[in-house]
Amino acid sequence: MGIGSDMYRQQIMDHYKNPRNHGRLESPTFTHTGENPSCGDTITMDVQLADDGETIERVAFSGDGCAISQASASMLTQRLPGTTLSELEAMDTDDITEMLGVDISPMRIKCAVLARQVAQDGAKIHDGEIEIEQTKTEDGDD
Amino acid sequence: MRVQESYPVDVDAIRADFPILQRKVGGDISTPGEHDDDDTPLVYLDNAATSHTPEQVVDAIIDYYHGYNSNVHRGIHHLSQEASVAYENAHDRVAEFIGASGGREEVVFTKNTTESMNLVAYAWGLDELGPGDSVVMTEMEHHASLVTWQQIAKKTGAEVRYIRVDDDGRLDMEHAKELIDDSTKMVSVVHVSNTLGTVNPVSELADMAHEVGAYAFVDGAQSVPTRPVDVEDIDADFFAFSGHKMCGPTGIGALYGKRDILEEMQPYLYGGEMIRSVTYEDSTWEDLPWKFEAGTPPIAQGVGFAAAVDYLDDIGMENVQAHEELLAEYAYDRLGEFDDIEIYGPPGDDRGGLVAFNLDSVHAHDLSSILNEQGVAIRAGDHCTQPLHDKLGAAASTRASFYIYNTREEVDALIDAIDAARELFA
């Protein structure tokens, strides 16, 4: 079955079972939390910036939820270091599905993009662009 | 033939009425209706969300559009009269199906159960509720009633109360006695829980409501499709259900109400079809049920709704219930074989035809995605019972729900697909 699964290819399952950069940073520049209310997925992203205040140096995540949300967060913590905040803010859904390397079914997109949304909202709060306590993705479940 | 004889209904014959059950799935979903690249047989276990539609019902809708499509209650012309007769008779047919002896005057066609609930909440609740009044519901209410009464209570200053669900997924009737008191104006309870499968003692609850002078509203979205229901035996004042969960089309549902109560209520929607006379200053309303059906109604859907009721009556609702219970018990037993599966709600021999559960190691949404890849259609999420899921300590659950065309083999396919998910996540 493992080989036959479209969405749960080896890379996703590997990141889910062995999450990278899982835990908290000692002194993050900013930290932010978000959830998918209908799924119960929660993600906290800690982001540490370089001295230029713009380049992402380290990222860690914690939380729990479905394999797609957690693997996506794990992969994002590897992807972001070296990029700038404006590059982070420009990331869209296609960038995430490309990173995951699998087709995500429409109903699961919100799981896949949660970590990105949390990181982006965290960056915006850091920049003083928005003021929110927590990211909540749109609840499309009924 | 032996397999067929082992079911309360003739499953093979029934399946032949539902062409969709023969299709395969798994291909590109962005081209609905094109199935060339689908390769996985469909196992449809999401009937509590919506049932499929037999050819007999589709034919009735086609006959309407091909034969007598017209607006109702307006035209003097032949087609309009035929359409009006069919649409009015559909009300009588649906009334008869649920034991409403008042016929069409006690059955309002709505969009669905949710709209039926909102109709009463707005037309009755806004006028009648106020500070010091209470609406009693259960902790297992669907959002259709829970959110509706919660919001009407906010507008009117009334209080909402929830009858506790015990560890077995049943209502705590002692708690119900405490909650239903002189302040209570409405007891709004779900008949069969769409999450727990619990069949609630709605008749007893209606009696408790009446003892304190309150009305009883029963949400029958999961009961009317799956068992014989007699609203007068229950003594419900209001009763709501949807066509699409019982072999009918989407876009139509019904609100049953006792005639004298509906008579007293003011309309909820204003406009065409529902008026008797209009001046620039004032208007008067049509007779029941039309005063609650403003605008051009869902005529084809009404005709389809009546055809769905005919279809189910031909099978016999006792048989439908027996088939549901057989599959629910079988699924409960098979899922119960595994220590890593938690099933919600009462035991297998005491529930409606659905089983919600969680697999320890796999999130409900991952599980449903993996089942989907194997052609097994189930529901994952909170099933519109978020507060109940909070109480169960689960953000989401996976739900398999059965109907007249499902088989034990399909339950086995579900179990096999769960095995595959377990293996992938091991």
User: Could you please report the per-residue DSSP string of B217-249?
Assistant: EEE-TTTTTTS---HHHHT-SEEEEESTTTTS-
The sheet that has A56-64: what strands, in order across it? A56-64, A41-49, A30-36, A135-136
Is pLDDT above 50 for A140?
no
Nearest chain B Cα to A69, which residue? Answer: B366
Give the pTM. 0.93
Q: What is the pLDDT of residues A18-73, one digit of tens each?
A: 999 999 999 999 999 999 877 778 999 999 999 999 999 999 999 989 999 999 99
Which of the 8 DSSP states describes residue B67?
Answer: I
A24 belongs to a structural domain: yes
The CATH number, out of the four listed (3.30.70.20, 1.10.357.10, 3.60.90.10, 3.40.640.10), of the domain defined by the range B57-314: 3.40.640.10
Both tokens assigned to B162:
């929830």
Write the CATH number for A111: 3.90.1010.10
- Whether the CB-CB separation of B374 and B410 falls below 8 Å is answered with no
Of A4, A40, A142, the CB nearest to B384: A142
Give the burial string for B157-192 (b: 16+ CB within 10 Å, else e).
Answer: ebebbbbbbeeebbbbbebbeebbeebbbbbbbbbb
A32 belongs to a structural domain: yes
Nearest alpha-carbon partner for B178 in B161, B190, B156, B202: B161
The residue segments making up the domain with residue A68 are 2-127
Beta carbon pairs, A and B, within 8 Å = 63
Give per-10-residue mean pLDDT for chain B (426 aa): 70 98 92 89 98 98 98 89 97 98 98 98 97 98 97 98 97 98 98 98 98 98 98 98 98 98 96 92 95 96 98 98 97 97 94 96 92 95 91 92 98 97 92
Query: Are A108 and B365 in contact (CB < 8 Å)?
Result: yes
Sorted by sequence, the CB contacts under 8 Å of residue A2 that are 6+ apart come out as A8, A10, A13, B423, B424
Sorted by sequence, the CB contacts under 8 Å of residue A84 that are 6+ apart come out as A54, A55, A56
Domain segments of chain B: what residues? 2-50+316-425, 57-314
Of B29, B362, B395, the CB nearest to A39: B395
Q: How far is Cα B12 from Cα B334, in angstroms, rounded to an integer? A: 23
Within its chain, how far is the Cα of B405 from the centroid? Answer: 18
A138 belongs to a structural domain: no
Determine how β-strand B40-41 pairs with β-strand B354-359.
unpaired
The CATH number, out of the four listed (3.30.230.10, 3.20.20.70, 3.10.150.10, 3.90.1150.10), of the domain defined by the range B2-50+316-425: 3.90.1150.10
**CA separation, residue A97 to residues A8, A110, A116, B237, B285 (Å):** 13, 11, 11, 52, 56
pLDDT at res. A39: 76
Nearest chain A Cα to B382, which residue? Answer: A38
Give the burial string for B302-313 (b: 16+ CB within 10 Å, else e).
Answer: bbbbbbbbebbe
Beta strands in B280-353 (DSSP E): 283-285, 341-344
Using beta carbons and an 8 Å cutoff, which residues of A are at the interface with B? 1-2, 4-8, 13, 37-41, 65-68, 105-106, 108, 111, 141-142
Single-letter amino acid code for the residue at B161: R
A135 belongs to a structural domain: no
Q: What is the pLDDT of residues B80-124, one digit of tens each?
A: 999 999 999 999 999 999 999 999 999 999 999 999 999 999 999
Query: Are B373 and A111 in contact (CB < 8 Å)?
Result: no
Of A1, A37, A67, the CB nearest to B423: A1
| ipTM for the predicted complex | 0.84
Q: How far is Cα B161 from Cα B187, in angstroms, rounded to an integer? A: 9
Query: Are B29 and A106 in contact (CB < 8 Å)?
Result: yes
Dihedral of alpha carbons A94, A100, A105, A106, sign = negative
pLDDT at res. B5: 52
Chain B hits for A13, CB-CB cut-off 8 Å, are: 424-425
Q: How far is Cα B118 from Cα A96, in angstroms, rounded to an integer? A: 40
Of B373, B396, B421, the CB nearest to A39: B396
pLDDT at res. A138: 62
Tell me which of B366, B373, B419 to substitute to probe the interface with A (most A C-beta atoms closer than 10 Å). B366
Determine how β-strand B40-41 pairs with β-strand B24-25.
antiparallel
Beta strands in B311-366 (DSSP E): 341-344, 354-359
Both tokens assigned to B362:
């796999």
Q: How far is Cα B423 from Cα B389, in angstroms, rounded to an integer? A: 26
Q: How far is Cα A77 from Cα A72, in angstroms, rounded to an integer? A: 9
A110 belongs to a structural domain: yes
- Whether the CB-CB separation of A122 and A32 falls below 8 Å is answered with yes
Query: Are B425 and A13 in contact (CB < 8 Å)?
Result: yes
pLDDT at res. A137: 78
Phi, psi angle pair for B137, to nearest 5°: -125, -165
Domain count, chain A: 1
Chain B hits for A5, CB-CB cut-off 8 Å, are: 370, 373, 424
Q: Which residues pair with residue A55 across a beta bridge?
A: A84
**CA separation, residue B283 to residues B122, B268, B280 (Å):** 19, 14, 8
